[in-house]
Chains A and B, each alone.
Chain A
Amino acid sequence: MTPVVRDQRQRFPRLDAEQTAATAAIVVLTMGVLLHASTLPIWTLVAVLGCSLWRFIAALNIVPLPGTRLAIRAAFIFATALALLAVLASFRTLNGLAAGTALLSMMGALKLLETRTPRDERVVIGVGLFLLLAACLANQTLTRVPLYLLYAWVCCAAFALIAQRSDSMTPRTAMRLAGRALLAASPLAIVFFLFFPRVAGQFWALPTGGAASTGLSDEMSPGSIGKLIEFYEPAFRVRFESAAPPPPQRYWRGPVLTHFDGFTWRRAPYSQYREPLVEGIGAAVRQRITLEPHNRRWWFALDTVSKSPRSDVFLTADHQLVSLQPVDEVVSYEVESHTRTRSTTALSSVAERMLTALPGSRNPRSRRFARELRDRTPDTRAFIGQVLEYFRTQGFRYSLEPPRSSLDSVDDFLFDSRLGFCGHYASAFATIMRAGGVPARVVTGYLGGEWNPIGGYLIVRQSDAHAWTEVWLDGAGWMRVDPTGVVEPERLTRGVIDLLPNALSAPTRFMHHSPWLTRALMVWDGANHWWRENVVEFDFRQQLALLNNLGLGDTGWRGLGMLLAAGFIGWLVWIAYSLRHLMIRAQPDRVARAWQRFCTTAAGFVTPRASDETALAFVSRIATARPELGSAARDIADRYNALRYGRGMAAARRRQLNVLEHAIDTFARQSRERT
């Protein structure tokens, strides 16, 4: 056990090579666990940091490491079992990314307490690299990239420190070495990233399970919501292949609610009748949608989507996209929609009965009102117009903070409060339609979105959530009617946040209304979205597109293989040539630099010094060539020899070195003056 060496220049004790290697392993594990700081349970972090601290103090020889006695080995096994149970208790499973990460962190921390050999330390670095992999699987956002690269850098430097264990391999040299190696490796990484064929499909799946953030629910009870929760977070982003549809057409279809009990609209879990067929009119709008995780099964698309983008996502008869699995990570898909459609078949009688059904006891005033109005206007289109006219003229107002209602929510809204948001209007309108014998349903989803001019895509936020209705017109098919638009026409073109600025929290409001900040946010969002579309979601399809852009046409696997091989060979050649720059060059010390300067100066008028020529022999040649410089040169050589080969106290040497450098300066000046 070596004692801590205290360097006079440094306030902190300097670590020797063994201690540095141990510390490298500690730093790697600690940093690796901190990569997961936001998702790991607190007890894991505390345990890992405690073990790291213990190992570090042990490396300083202040406290001993746990020994290798049988009792301590048993304690280790016990601690391992305890960690396993604790992870199981925290996550209720061991299978899954978050639980696996916690387990790996604990195992790494326990391993840290028994690192005795370089091999043990390398195992800890291996654990660190696994933690890095887990971090990549958990989070690939742009902000994390510098962290991951820094971590990879530290891991490589730790490998150097652990392998070399010499005083000349300081952490700084190791970082320099690892940094150069990483820089040299980056062209290869880029070539492989671009051209290594991305095999599609999963060989095995690990449940990702994680933080729940909520999106649209499959039911809607407008009367029960006192205040709509404000969501500034993006729900999804949309890039249009051609021009974006005008704002009033930006209805993003989500769950379709058909069952109403007077208070709550619900989605039918399965279809009980045959839906009429629908065909699109006009050109299709192609979109690429990047959907944020919302832990529900809805995928959103511009109304009305015509085909499912993926095999594990179904297009229901009422044109919702429903996936088999909840969306718990970012998904990206391309869909085609038609903003105008036409039904080609009629509504069956079963469907008509179900879509006009209302609970017999609820909302009696509304139903009476609807029946009376319907009796006066037998034409369905006129009936719709009358109802919308009622909304427009009878003092209805748009609000995100409506009063709570009784179970007869539609009655309360229509005749008492007349205050509500989209859900209230859609619910009331659909109720009136059904009471009037017109098949109607509520569609939830999003309306509008914010255009990002920098990235050229649309951001649809949670605050753009919307509900509207669809009514069946014989002969024309399903027609979208948005009663909210009648009350608040601006809602069709602008977001909720613009209409009701008070709905936002103060910081978000400030952000949203400062043009400079908004622009900065848009740039940032654009960079992130670019990152996600072009890097995170880079796949075989984009590789093929890249081949096409490179002029290789439709070569597919063969093209990728050729580019990969060419890139690899090119990189190898480049590395072989540039290896010189990768190697660590020992800096000549001040004495050598000064002497080199002298030799270069003198080489201006005598044959340059041969590598085996002594200093004295060289200056005697100078004295022969330029007698007037002889004594100065001899003086320099003597001083150089004394500094190079003599002994002396550090302070004295520094003084002598100053004199030597000064003498060389003078010599250089003199040699120039005479020529």
Chain B
Amino acid sequence: MLARLRRTLARRGAAWVKRRQGVDRLPAVVHARRLYILPSRSGAGFAALLLFMLLAGLNYANSLALFLTFLLAGVAIVSMHLAHRNLLGLRITMAQTVNGFAAQTGRIVIAFANDADVTRFALRVSVDLDATRLVSQALELPGRTQRRQDLELPLARRGRVTIERIRISTHYPFGLFEAWTWLHLPLSVLAYPAARGGRSPPAAAHGGTEQLAVHRPGDDEWSHLRAFRDGDSPRQIAWAAYARTGQLLSKEYVAPRGAYRIFDIGELRGLALEQQLEQLSAWVVGAHERGERYGLQLTDTFVEPGAGLPHRDRCLAALAVVGLSMRPTQ
């Protein structure tokens, strides 16, 4: 009963905050209007202690106890200002999510910029997922620097995890107050189906040529080396050349154009949907690691053949949302 009331209140509160702040666009600066601050639990304890000291000091007309009480109360107020200032003017330059496999973790990456001269201490990123709050490590941001902070998100099930809002908070300096701000960004994390399943991938290659033109790892049939590009598979890297020259180079294969496989969900009849998706995911991952070209045929989706990391992610993303209502993410 009480828990339900609390949940309702929290939901109302979150809705109110979102209404008054609106959806954010990056880069976002933490203005005073969107900065919230309250005593933390230890701050409440400290206040109780100060009240006791005040009463004792008044009761015994003890000047030193009263002075120290007032001094510590002043420190608490100063610490409230410091906590506020620690967040005020903080710039959030980038917020991205990194998808992950179910039963593993995804990630939120937030980049901060500190435009002030002073150091901002102990910034934490947190996200509420399924009634638990995930909190990142503390980040320190020296004056005039930019840094990023990662927050690992455990992904329980396949599907889309919508990040309603991100909380950026600080306990600096004495842990007596917590200042925080909410960030509403259209972010979501996809949990890909776990790459599991023992079936071997379809052997047949589709495409314009008759022969199987898939390059297996260990093949030396590459034509030339080119500079490493993001998304290249580790197997593509010419490690021998790296050892010689210290430069990261990738092998460019002479894959005949159009040689590819299609992973078809129709070939996995007899398995439950989740197992089908996990098997497809395993195939996609394997094919990507081998540097192959592949496509994906799902019941109502077709991903055209391709290769590389973006392609892999496109395929896995398609697998992640199969059968789920495509709610618009905000």
A160 is an interface residue with CB less than 8 A from chain B: yes
The answer on a CB contact under 8 Å between A189 and B122 is no
Q: Most chain-B CB neighbours within 10 Å: which of A129, A163, A584? A: A163
A539 at the interface (CB under 8 A from B): yes
Flag if A181 contacts B58 (CB, 8 Å): no
Can you name the residue of chain B whose Cβ is closest to the Cβ of A182? B75
Q: B81 at the A/B interface (Cβ < 8 Å)?
A: yes
Between A and B, 20 residue pairs with Cβ closer than 8 Å are A133-B56, A133-B65, A133-B68, A136-B62, A140-B62, A144-B64, A163-B42, A163-B176, A166-B121, A166-B122, A182-B71, A182-B75, A185-B74, A193-B66, A193-B70, A198-B61, A202-B59, A536-B63, A583-B82, A586-B118
B78 touches A137 (CB 8 A): no
B24: interface (CB < 8 Å): no
Which residues of chain A from 126 to 163 have a CB within 8 Å of any chain B CB? 126, 129-130, 132-133, 136-137, 140, 144-145, 148, 152, 156, 159-160, 162-163
Q: How many Å lie between the Cα of A156 and that of B75 in the bound state?
A: 8
In the assembled complex, the Cα of A426 lies from the Cα of B85 at a distance in Å of 75
Whether A185 pairs with B61 at a CB distance below 8 angstroms is: no
Interface centre among A152, A164, A535 (most CB of B within 10 A): A164
Q: Which of the 9-residue segments B136-144, B230-238, B294-302 touches chain A? A: B136-144
| Cβ contact of A126, chosen from B49, B59, B82, B122, cutoff 8 A | B49
CA of A576 to CA of B78 in the docked complex: distance in angstroms? Answer: 9
Checking B49, B64, B117, B140 against A585 with a beta-carbon cut-off of 8 angstroms, the contacting residue is B117
- Judged by a CB distance under 8 angstroms, whether A433 is at the interface is no
Question: A185, B64: Cβ atoms under 8 Å?
Answer: no
| Chain B proximity mask over A535-556: 1 for CB below 8 Å, otherwise 0 | 1111100000000000000000
State A132–B122 Cα separation when bound (angstroms). 29
**Closest Cβ–Cβ distance, residue A355 to chain B (whole Å):** 42
A133 and B85 alpha carbons, distance in the complex (Å) = 31
Q: Does chain A have a CB within 8 A of B207?
A: no
Known: A119-B42, A148-B64, A193-B70; 17 extra A-B contacts, CB below 8 A, are: A119-B41, A133-B56, A140-B64, A163-B171, A163-B173, A163-B174, A164-B121, A169-B121, A178-B174, A184-B74, A185-B75, A188-B73, A189-B70, A200-B61, A535-B63, A535-B64, A582-B82
B119 near A: Cβ within 8 Å? Answer: yes
Confirm or deny: B241 has a beta carbon within 8 angstroms of a beta carbon on chain A. no
- Once the chains bind, are A583 and B122 in contact (CB under 8 Å)? no
Least Cβ distance of B61 to chain A in Å? 6
In this complex, which of A572, A576, A584, A585 has the most chain B Cβ atoms within 10 angstroms of its Cβ?
A: A584
B271 at the interface (CB under 8 A from A): no
Tell me how far the C-beta of B137 lies from the nearest C-beta in chain A, rounded to whole angstroms.
9
- Chain B residues lying within 8 Å of A148, measured Cβ to Cβ, are 64, 68
- The answer to whether B143 touches A152, judged by C-beta atoms less than 8 angstroms apart, is no
Candidates A152, A177, A538; contact of B63 at CB < 8 Å: A538
Residues of B within 8 A of A502 (CB): none
| Given A137-B56, A137-B65, residue A189 in contact with residue B74 (CB < 8 A) | yes
Asked if B79 is at the interface (CB within 8 A of a chain A CB), the reply is yes
CA distance A119 to B121 in the complex (A): 20
Contact B45 A186 (CB under 8 A): no
Whole-angstrom distance between the Cβ of A164 and the nearest chain B Cβ:
5
* A196 close to chain B: CB less than 8 A: yes
CB contacts (< 8 Å) of B171 on chain A: these are 163-164
Chain A interface (Cβ < 8 Å from any Cβ of B): 118-119, 122, 126, 129-130, 132-133, 136-137, 140, 144-145, 148, 152, 156, 159-160, 162-166, 168-169, 177-178, 181-182, 184-189, 192-193, 196, 198-200, 202-204, 535-539, 571-572, 575-576, 579-580, 582-586
How far does the alpha carbon of A586 sit from the alpha carbon of B141 in the complex, in Å? 9
Complex CA distance for A594 and B8, rounded to whole angstroms: 57
Q: Which of B45, B60, B138, B172 counts the most chain A CB atoms within 10 A? A: B60
Q: Nearest Cβ distance between residue A105 and chain B, in whole angstroms?
A: 17
A575 touching B77 by the CB < 8 A rule? yes
> Is A126 in contact with B175, judged by CB distance below 8 angstroms?
no
Instruction: Decide: B81 and A579 in contact? CB cutoff 8 A.
Output: yes
Is B35 part of the binding interface, using a Cβ–Cβ cutoff of 8 Å?
no
Q: Which residues of A contact B63 (CB under 8 A)?
A: 140, 193, 535-538
Whether, in the assembled complex, B242 has its beta carbon less than 8 Å from a beta carbon of chain A, the answer is: no
For chain B, residues 137 to 156, give those with C-beta under 8 angstroms from any C-beta of chain A.
Answer: 138, 140, 142-143
Q: B186-219: which residues lie under 8 A (CB-CB) from chain A? A: none
Smallest distance from the beta carbon of A132 to chain B beta carbons, Å?
7
Complex alpha-carbon distance, A152 and B72, angstroms: 8
- Find the A residue at minimum CB distance from B171: A163
Please, which residues of chain B bring their CB within 8 A of the CB of A159?
A: 174-176
CA distance A579 to B174 in the complex (A): 16
User: Taking the nearest CB of chain A, how far is it from the CB of B70, in angstroms?
Assistant: 4
The reply to whether B119 and A583 form a contact with Cβ atoms under 8 Å apart is: yes
Bound-complex Cα distance A617 to B46 (A): 54
Decide: B72 and A586 in contact? CB cutoff 8 A.
no
Closest to B42 in A: A122
Known contacts A136-B62, A204-B59, A575-B81; is A129 also within 8 Å of B49 by CB? yes
**Is there contact, CB below 8 Å, between B78 and A185?**
yes
Chain A residues whose C-beta falls within 8 Å of the C-beta of B52 in the assembled complex: 133
Minimum Cβ distance to chain B for residue A260 (Å): 42
B55 in the interface (beta carbon within 8 A)? yes
Q: Does B67 contact A (CB under 8 A)?
A: yes
Known: A166-B138, A585-B117. A184 touches B78 (CB 8 A): yes
The answer to whether B121 and A584 touch across the interface, beta carbons within 8 angstroms, is: yes
Q: Which residues of A contact B81 (CB under 8 A)?
A: 575-576, 579, 582
Q: Which of B64, B81, B82, B171 has the most CB of A within 10 A?
A: B64
Chain A residues with Cβ below 8 Å from B62 are 136-137, 140
Chain B residues in 8 Å Cβ range of A579: 81-82, 85
A126, A129, A178, A198: the one contacting B58 at CB < 8 Å is: A198
**B172 smallest CB distance to A (angstroms):** 7
Contact B140 A185 (CB under 8 A): no
Given B49, B58, B59, B71, which contacts A152 in the complex, CB threshold below 8 Å?
Answer: B71
CB distance from B47 to the nearest CB of A (A): 12
Asked if residues A582 and B65 are in contact (CB atoms below 8 Å), the reply is no
CA of A160 to CA of B71 in the docked complex: distance in angstroms? Answer: 16
Assess whether A188 is in contact with B77, with CB atoms less than 8 Å apart: yes
A585/B121 contact (C-beta < 8 A), A126-B49, A163-B173 known: no
- Partner pick for A586 among B71, B142, B173, CB 8 A cutoff: B142
Contacts of B78 on A, CB cut-off 8 Å? 181, 184-185, 575, 582
Question: In the complex, which residues 154-183 of chain B have their Cβ closer than 8 Å to any Cβ of chain A?
Answer: 171-176
Whole-angstrom distance from the CB of A611 to the nearest CB of chain B? Answer: 8
CB proximity of B193 to chain A, nearest CB, Å: 37
CB distance from B177 to the nearest CB of A (A): 10
* Docked CA distance A192–B85 (Å): 25
**With A and B bound together, what is the CA distance between A160 and B176 in angstroms?**
9
Quick check: A156 and B174 within 8 Å, CB to CB? yes
B residues less than 8 Å from A571 (CB atoms) = 74
Chain A residues within an 8 Å CB radius of B255:
none
Question: With A166-B138, A166-B140, A168-B140 given, is the CB distance from A152 to B68 under 8 Å?
Answer: yes
- Tell me the B77-97 residues at the A interface (CB within 8 Å): 77-79, 81-82, 85
